[in-house]
Amino acid sequence: MRTSFDKSRLKILLLEGIHPSAERVFRDAGYSNIEAISTALTDQALIEKLEGVHFLGIRSASQVTRKIVESADKLVAIGCFCIGTNQVDLQAASEHGVVVFNAPYSNTRSVAELVLAEAIMLMRGIPEKSALAHRGVWKKSASDSYEIRGKTLGIVGYGAIGSQLSVLAEGLGMRVIFHDVVSKLPLGNASQVPTLDALLSQADVVSLHVPDLPSTRGMMTRERIDQMKPKAVLINASRGSVVDIDALANALRGQRILGAAIDVFPVEPKSNHDPFESPLTHFDNCILTPHVGGSTQEAQENIGVEVADKLVRYSDNGSTLTSVNFPEVALPPHPQHHRLLHIHENRPGVLSQINRVFAENAINIGSQFLQTTENIGYVVIDVDRDYSEIALENLANVEGTIRCRVLF
C-alpha cells in the first residue's frame, strides 16, 4: 500500500530483545528503518534514542513515562510485546495522540504451563530437595510431599491465562475454584467463589492472574497470606506489585505455608547484566524465576507477529482495533481517495467543526468513521485526492485537535 510518507523514512525502535518475527513482519510490509536493542534503556537514554522514532516496541522492563512521551515528538504508536501495559503512561500517550497496543493472548499457554509445573514441584518439595542436593545434602523423604491429584487449585483472576490454567489443572485431576471481580462462565468443572477470602481458605495452590490496578496492588498482604492453608503454596506470575514480598518472606521464614513461586517482582533488573536482589533468595522452598512466564520461543514468536502486525495495520490504514488506550476504529481501503486521521479531545462540537471544514471547502467525504473513549475522539475520513492537503491544513486548526495527518 502506498502511504503519504515513505516507509523507509519511518523509524522503528525495538527494545529488550523482541523476537525477530516482529522485524520480519515490518520488513515484509515494506518498513526497513529498524533498530533492535537487546536491553531496556534508562529514561534519559530512551529520550535520546526516541529522537525521530515513529514506532516503539518494548517488553515489560522499559518504563515509558509522561516525560518520555512528551519528549518524543515523532512518536505515533507504542507496541508492548507482552500482556501488561502498566509500564506505559497510557494517559500521557492518549493526550499526545500515541496509540498503544499489546499482546493479551499470545503467551497464555506458556504462562499456564509454567504455573502448573511449579505447582507440581512445590507440592512435592522438589525445589528444596534440589537445592540441598546441590549442597551435598541427601534428603530422601515423603514428608510434606503430595500429589496434586485431588488437591484444590485457587485461581485469582479468571481471564485468558487463568481459564487456560483451569483446563490444564483439571486434566491432572485437580479441583478448580476461582475468584474474579466479575461473574465468569466456568470452563469444565471449575466453580467461582464469591470472595478472595473464601478462595484462600480452601485452596492448596493459590495462583494469581490479575492486572496491575490500584485494587490489586499489595493484594496479598500478611493478613491474606495468613488466611491460606498451612500446607498451601502461593504462585505469582501476574504482576510484581500484587504480592507483599516482605510479608511472603516472613511467612516462609515462619513455615506458615509450604512454599512459593514468584516470577514477577516490584523492582526488576533492566537487563541480564544487572544484579537481582530479593529477601526471597534465602528460601530453598521458593522458586524464583526472572519474569519468564511468557518467555518461550513459541510465545515470543507469536507475540512478535501479533504486535508488529497491529503496528503495521495502524501505520498502513489507521486501524486501532484492540488498542488499549484509543477508540477502536477500522475501515477498509477506499480506492481513489486519501485517508485523513484526526485525533482530538472528546468534547462537544469537535465533529461538527470537522464536518464544517469539508462543507465550507466543498470537499466530498467518501467515508467517515468516528469512535470515542472518555477522553479521546478518533475520526478516520476518506476524501477525494485533490482536496486532502486543503482538508489537512484546516483540520489541524480545529479546536481540540491533538494530532492530524494524511495516511495515504
For 316-329, how does the pLDDT look when each residue is reduced to its tens digit (9 = 90+)? 888 898 999 988 88
Out of 239, 338, 339, 342, pick the active-site residue. 239
CA atoms of 248 and 246, how far apart (whole Å): 5
pLDDT of 386 > 80? The answer is no
pLDDT at 338: 80
pLDDT-derived band at 1, boundaries 50, 70, 90: very low
Query: Average of pLDDT values for 254-279?
Result: 93
Query: Average of pLDDT values for 253-275?
Result: 93
How does pLDDT run across 167-195, given as a tens digit for each residue? 999 999 999 999 999 999 999 999 999 99
Query: Is 108-288's fold the same as 327-408's?
Result: no
| Per-residue buried b or exposed e for 82-95, using 16+ beta carbons within 10 Å of the residue's own CB | bbbbebbbbebbbb
The residue among 7 and 157 whose pLDDT is bigger is 157
| Per-residue buried b or exposed e for 338-368, using 16+ beta carbons within 10 Å of the residue's own CB | bbbbbbbebeeebbebbeebbeeeebebeeb
Q: Are strands 376-384 and 337-345 parallel, antiparallel or unpaired?
A: antiparallel
Q: Which CATH class name applies to 327-408?
A: alpha beta
CB 287 within 8 A of CB 261: yes
What share of the chain has pLDDT > 70, as a percent?
97
What share of the chain has pLDDT > 90, as a percent?
69
Architecture category of domain 108-288 in CATH: 3-Layer(aba) Sandwich (3.40)
Residues 288, 294, 300, 303, CA torsion sign: negative
Give the helix/strand (H/E) hosting 247: helix 245-253
Query: Average of pLDDT values for 39-54?
Result: 94
The residue among 362 and 168 whose pLDDT is bigger is 168
Q: Which grid cell is 358?
A: 469539508
pLDDT at 46: 95
The residue among 64 and 394 whose pLDDT is bigger is 64
pLDDT of 390 > 80? The answer is no
Q: Which residues contact 362 (CB under 8 A, 6 or more apart)?
A: none
CA atoms of 79 and 57, how far apart (whole Å): 5
Query: Average of pLDDT values for 84-112?
Result: 92
pLDDT at 3: 45
Query: Average of pLDDT values for 271-282?
Result: 92
Q: Are strands 376-384 and 365-372 parallel, antiparallel or unpaired?
A: antiparallel
pLDDT at 282: 96
Active site residue 224: no
pLDDT of 4 > 70? The answer is no
Q: Which grid cell is 177?
A: 475454584
pLDDT at 228: 97
Q: Which grid cell is 389?
A: 492537503
Out of 95, 268, 301, 345, pick the active-site residue. 268
Residue 57: phi and psi, rounded to 5, are -115, 130
CA atoms of 183 and 90, how far apart (whole Å): 27
pLDDT at 403: 84
**Number of Cβ within a 10 Å radius of residue 173:** 11
Cα dist. 6→11, 51, 286 in Å?
11, 18, 52
Out of 224, 291, 339, 344, pick the active-site residue. 291
CA atoms of 355 and 119, how far apart (whole Å): 59
Q: Which grid cell is 372?
A: 470515542
- Closest to 279 measured CA to CA, from 258, 294, 260: 260
Q: 3-class DSSP state for residue 128?
A: helix
pLDDT-derived band at 5, boundaries 50, 70, 90: low
The total number of residues written for the chain in this structure: 408
End-to-end CA distance of the chain: give it in Å, rounded. Answer: 8
pLDDT at 303: 94
In the numeric block, the cell 515513529 is attached to 54
**β-bridge partners, 304:** none
CA atoms of 178 and 52, how far apart (whole Å): 47
Region of poorest pLDDT, from 14-18, 104-108, 236-240, 244-248: 104-108
CA 89 from chain center: how many Å?
Answer: 13
pLDDT-derived band at 37, boundaries 50, 70, 90: very high
CA atoms of 338 and 126, how far apart (whole Å): 63
| DSSP annotation string for 69-112 | HHH-TT--EEEESSS--TTB-HHHHHHTT-EEE--SSTTHHHHH
Where are the chain's structural domains? 1-107+296-325, 108-288, 327-408
CA atoms of 100 and 303, how far apart (whole Å): 15
Active site residue 385: no
The residue among 123 and 346 whose pLDDT is bigger is 123
Average pLDDT, whole number, for the chain? 91
Helices (H), 83-206: 90-95, 108-124, 126-134, 160-171, 196-202
Active site residue 268: yes
pLDDT of 24 > 70? The answer is yes
Query: Average of pLDDT values for 80-97?
Result: 91
Note the CATH number of domain 1-107+296-325.
Answer: 3.40.50.720
pLDDT at 364: 80
- Closest to 200 measured CA to CA, from 256, 144, 255, 116: 256
